Amino acid sequence: MINDKVKIIADNRAKCICDPCPTYNECMRADTSLLFCVLGKSQNCTFDKKGCLCPECPVKPALGLTKAYYCIRGSEKEQK
């Protein structure tokens, strides 16, 4: 199971569109936080909800994801 998660992260990290998201901030950039949909919400950063690009992310259909605001609400699994 851990190997599956590592593969998902490796395969999808480059596809992630967190960086241009209006909610993604300097703290997240400094932490190089990405793939909240898989890894869960930001643990080290606080931020304001300013918009969400999750519905447009190419990772979302590739992994069959249905939620949004993963950086705030947690991974797909955490939101179920």
> Locate tokens 């998902």: which residue?
8
* CB of 75 closer than 8 Å to CB of 38: yes
- Residue 25 pLDDT: 93
> What is the pLDDT at residue 7?
86
16, 20, 23, 28: CA torsion to nearest 10 = 70
pLDDT per position as a tens digit, 3-31: 788 888 888 988 999 999 999 999 999 98
Give residue 35's pLDDT band: very low, low, confident or very high (50, 70, 90). very high
Contact 76, 37 (CB under 8 A): yes
Q: Where are the domains of the chain?
A: 2-79
**Is residue 78 classed as helix, strand or coil in its secondary structure?**
helix
Alpha helix stretches (DSSP H) within 22-69: 26-31, 36-39, 59-63
pTM given for the model: 0.84
Kindly indicate the confidence band of residue 1, based on its pLDDT and cuts at 50, 70 and 90.
low
Rounded Cα distance between 51 and 77, Å, is: 21
